[in-house]
């Protein structure tokens, strides 16, 4: 007798859960029909490129140096101390002596006067 009672209880639970699920689906469908929700706009397409965060880095000249280093190197060239200017520029360019000599040569061709005594 207890096995039959458990079977009826199980069938009752299945019917109650099924009816609740059906009722909940009907209520949600009715609420969706009344509240029209606009579709969200799709996110903008990402363009491929050299992006870092929200910024695009500037394409720099590999021989570009800070202004204070350029002025110091220009002064050394004007004073006739080109080897010191090459060493100064070479440390800033990462140890490439040929590029440093090229930069110092371009500074010497500018012909600006020295600011240091």
Q: For the segment 9-45, what is each residue's pLDDT rounded down to a tens digit? A: 999 999 999 999 999 999 888 887 676 667 778 877 7
Q: What is the pLDDT of residue 16?
A: 94
Cβ atoms within 10 Å of 1's Cβ, excluding its own: 5
Domain limits for position 94: 63-116
Residue 25 lies in a domain: yes
Q: What is the pLDDT of residue 68?
A: 84
Residue 53 lies in a domain: no
Q: What is the pLDDT of residue 17?
A: 93
Nearest to 116, CA basis, from 68, 75, 70: 75
pTM of model > 0.85 = no
Q: Are residues 32 and 74 in the same domain?
A: no
Cβ atoms within 10 Å of 90's Cβ, excluding its own: 18
Residue 90 lies in a domain: yes
Longest dimension (CA), the chain: 115
């Amino acid at each position: 007798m207890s096995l039959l009672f458990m079977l009826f209880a199980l069938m009752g639970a299945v019917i109650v859960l099924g009816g609740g699920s059906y009722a909940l689906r009907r209520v949600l469908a009715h609420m969706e029909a009344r509240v029209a929700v606009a579709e969200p706009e799709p996110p903008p397409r990402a363009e491929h490129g050299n992006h870092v965060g929200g910024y695009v880095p500037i394409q720099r000249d590999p021989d570009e140096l800070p202004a204070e280093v350029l002025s110091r190197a220009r002064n050394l060239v004007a004073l006739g101390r080109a080897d010191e200017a090459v060493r100064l520029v070479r440390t800033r360019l990462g140890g490439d002596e040929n590029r440093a000599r090229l930069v110092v040569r371009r500074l010497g061709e500018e012909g600006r006067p020295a600011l240091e005594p």
